[in-house]
Structure 1
Amino acid sequence: MLVAFSVSPLGGESDSVAEAVAAAVRVVRESGLPNETNAMFTLVEGEWDEVMAVVKKATEVVQAVAPRVGLVLKADIRPGFTGQLRAKVERVERHLAGPGDQPTE
C-alpha cells in the first residue's frame, strides 16, 4: 500500500507550519518504512496497519502543538505489490524516454 498524506496545524499563533510538519516527517522517517517527502506530501509504503499507524502517530504529534489539524490522505491499495514507491516513477520515466519523446535537432 502506498499512502500520500499531508498533515498540518491549523489555528494557533504562528503562520509557520514547518516545525510541526518536521515533527510529523520525523515520525515517518523513524518508522523505518520506505518514504519520501516533497513540498506537498509525504509518501509511505507498507502494509495497511503499519502505514496507518504511522499516519496516526504523525497526526498526533502535530495535534499536540495545535488546536486543530488538517489531514489529507490518498492511498493506492494494491495487495501483493511492494517497492512501488520507486517502481511507479520508473515506469513513467521509461515512457518519457521512449522514441516519441526524443529531442529533435
Structure 2
Amino acid sequence: MLIAFSVTPLGGGESVGDLVAEAVRVVRESGLPNQTDAMFTLVEGEWDEVMAVVKRAVDVIAAEVPRVSLVLKADIRPGVTDALTAKVAHIEARLAEG
C-alpha cells in the first residue's frame, strides 16, 4: 500500500516545523520507502507496517502537544511494489512523449 499522510501539532504554539521534523524522522528511521514534500509524507509498505509508522509519528507529536491533526490518504493495491516511484515515472514518461 502507498499512503500519504500529514500530521499537524495543535496547541503547542505557532511554529510546528520542529515537531513535524521529529515525525518525519520516525518515518525515515522505519526503513520503508518514503518521500516528504511540503505538504505530505508518502510511505510504502504492507498495511500493518505502514500504519504502525503513522501511529509512531503521531505518538511522537502527541507526546509534546495536547492535540494532533492527522490527514491520511491510502492507495491499497495488492501485489504492486515500487508505487512510490513508478507512478511518477509513468507520468514523466507520458509528458516526455509530447
TM category (shorter chain) comes to over 0.9
Task: Look up the match of 1:47.
Answer: 46
Task: Look up the match of 2:6.
Answer: 6
Q: Distance in 2 between matches of 1:21 and 1:11?
A: 14
Q: Distance in 1 between matches of 2:81 and 2:64?
A: 34
- After TM superposition, give the deviation of residue 8 of structure 1 in Å: 1.0
Task: Look up the match of 1:82.
Answer: 81
Q: Deviations over 1:45-104 (max 9, x none)?
A: 000000000000000001011111000000000000000100000000011011xx2xxx
Q: Calculate the aligned-residue CA RMSD, in Å.
A: 0.6
Are 1:97 and 2:96 matched, yes or no? yes
Q: For 1:73, what is the secondary structure of its paired residue?
A: strand
**Please, what TM-score do these two structures have when normalized by structure 2?**
0.98
Q: Unpaired runs of 5+ in structure 1?
A: none
Matched residue count = 98
Q: For 1:44, what is the secondary structure of its paired residue?
A: strand
- After TM superposition, give the deviation of residue 11 of structure 1 in Å: 1.3
